[in-house]
Amino acid sequence: MISGDFNLQSGVTIYVTPHSNNGCGELKIYAQNIVIDGFVNGDYAGYSGGTGGIKGLAVTSATGHDVALTACNDPGSEGNISVEGGQAGQDGQGPGAGFAGLNGGIGSGSKQYCGNFGDEAGLIAGAGGAGGGAGGSYGGLGTLAGNGGNGSNSSTTVGLSIEGSYPATFGIGGTGGTENITYGTAAGFDIALGSGGAGAGSGGRSYYLGTDGIKGGNGGGLVFLKAEQSVQMTGTISVKGEDGSYGGNGGSGDATTDCCSDGCNGCDERTFSCGSGAGAGSGGGSGGGIFIETSGSASITGNLNAIGGIGGNSGQLGNGAYCDYSDIFCSDNSITTGNGNIGGAGGSGGGGRIKLFVPECAQAIINPTVLVNGGTGFYNGEAGSYESICGYADLNENSTTINWYVYPNPADDHFTLSFDNYDFSGKAYVELLNTLGQVVSTFDLSAANSTLAIPELSKGVYLVRLTLNNEISIKKIIKR
């Protein structure tokens, strides 16, 4: 609270401390007069994006031959090998946080086999990448994310056979995360931080490891300005959501050394692996909240920005392996294994919310440049909301066709609403708002005289906002 004036001069920037640093993520200024000619930067200061998924690591074997993926092991026996799919990221933070995707599937196949009458090459399919993270929501919905990339089980061979005791089965890419809900109101007194996008999926395992997914974008911060006398703004207030980032790379395939003891060291004496799928990208954060209120004059002609972040792209696919053997005494042979697949994009964040409350329409200058669109990309986030509400002075004690009374005022733990024979056939309820415009209690009404209990409220001034048959009326009450 500032007892005097607040003046942010042109060329000066204020940065909102991120929510992830100290649990804040917001700037609130209460003053007699507020002048914003500089830059209030609340970009990426809202709820945090989710962490990215951990790359697929594990190599397992139903026959105890897990080391045969990268080295010769028990060459005279048949064996199975499986490689782990990429791991999904984490959900973002906040009420509208984007949800993370699902893990990628395992890839599997047979190791190489040295036979008495012919050798057979091993072929291990690549694992799938994990699904991407959805975008955060606030004023507008974020979007769902794309799936992780499938691993490969393909191979092209000349002059050799593939050991088939355990068929090569590629890992399927994980499903992308889904969007969450919007929250808050378009024109009420509430305002909030933007929510984070979910983390990216990681890449699947093959001969080589893939890479981890990267975290989702943070939501935009919150900027709240309340002036008793006047607001003047020619500068910029920005609470953008952060862009998402890349999914993890799929692991690439390769081959073991020659595993048989005969004189022909062809490609059929090795275990080959295919490329694994890439993880899909992380989600963008939603735009944050901007709230400006004045009880006096207003001149707002600057820039207000609460756009959502863009969803991140897929990681890189894992490459396959290649072998070409030629010898004048032995038969020629070759093999090429397939590349994995790329994943989809992360979801984009939805736009935030911007609200301006001014007392007199005729005397106010309200002509800002406003951006509340969702993040653009492969998936476009939904636009948020912008409301400029004139006649705000009437909210202290506004007049409507509803004749109603609040007593006693000041009140202790109860107060009563009385009406002059008003029709209760439609929806009727009361909201109590504190001086920050936050709804602190809600009551349903069903009778012309209703007594409402407020023992839990602190002492102070509250607005009683009545909604009756789609009409809104507001009165002031003091809790003592």
User: For the residues of 233-296, what is the DSSP string, one character each?
Assistant: E-SEEE-PPPP--PPPPPPPP-B------SS---GGGSEEEPPPPPPPPPPPPPP-EEEEEESS
- For 69, how many CA atoms within 13 A lie in the half-sphere containing its CB? 28
Residue 401 pLDDT more than 70? no
Give the pLDDT of residue 356.
94
Please provide the distance, in angstroms rounded to a whole number, between the alpha carbons at the two ends of the chain. 22
* Integer Cα distance of 480 and 25 in angstroms: 32
Residue 362 pLDDT more than 80? no
The strand ranges marked E within 116-270 are 118-124, 155-158, 161-162, 222-233, 236-238
* Integer Cα distance of 470 and 29 in angstroms: 33
Token pair belonging to 112: 């190489």
Q: Omega before 167 cis (within 30°)?
A: no
Q: How far is CA 85 from CA 56, 108, 127, 307, in A?
A: 5, 11, 5, 34
pLDDT band for position 436 (cuts 50, 70, 90) = low
Give the pLDDT of residue 326.
92
Say if residues 285 and 218 touch (Cβ distance below 8 Å).
yes
Give the mean pLDDT of 237-248. 98
* Integer Cα distance of 346 and 39 in angstroms: 30
Beta bridge partners of 113: 120
Sheet of 13-15: strands edge to edge?
13-15, 39-41, 236-238, 303-305, 369-371
Give the pLDDT of residue 389.
82
Q: What does the mean pLDDT of the chain come to? A: 91
Q: Omega before 455 cis (within 30°)?
A: no
11 or 395, which is more confident? 11
- Give the total residue count for the chain: 480
Residue 410 pLDDT more than 90? no
Residue appearing with tokens 């782990």 = 84
Give the mean pLDDT of 314-318. 98
Every domain range in the chain assigned CATH 2.60.40.1930: 398-480
Token pair belonging to 464: 């009683």
Burial 41-68 (b: 16+ CB within 10 A, else e): bbbbbbbbbbbbbbbbeebebebebbbb
Could you tell me which CATH class the domain 398-480 is placed in? mainly beta
Token pair belonging to 479: 């809790």
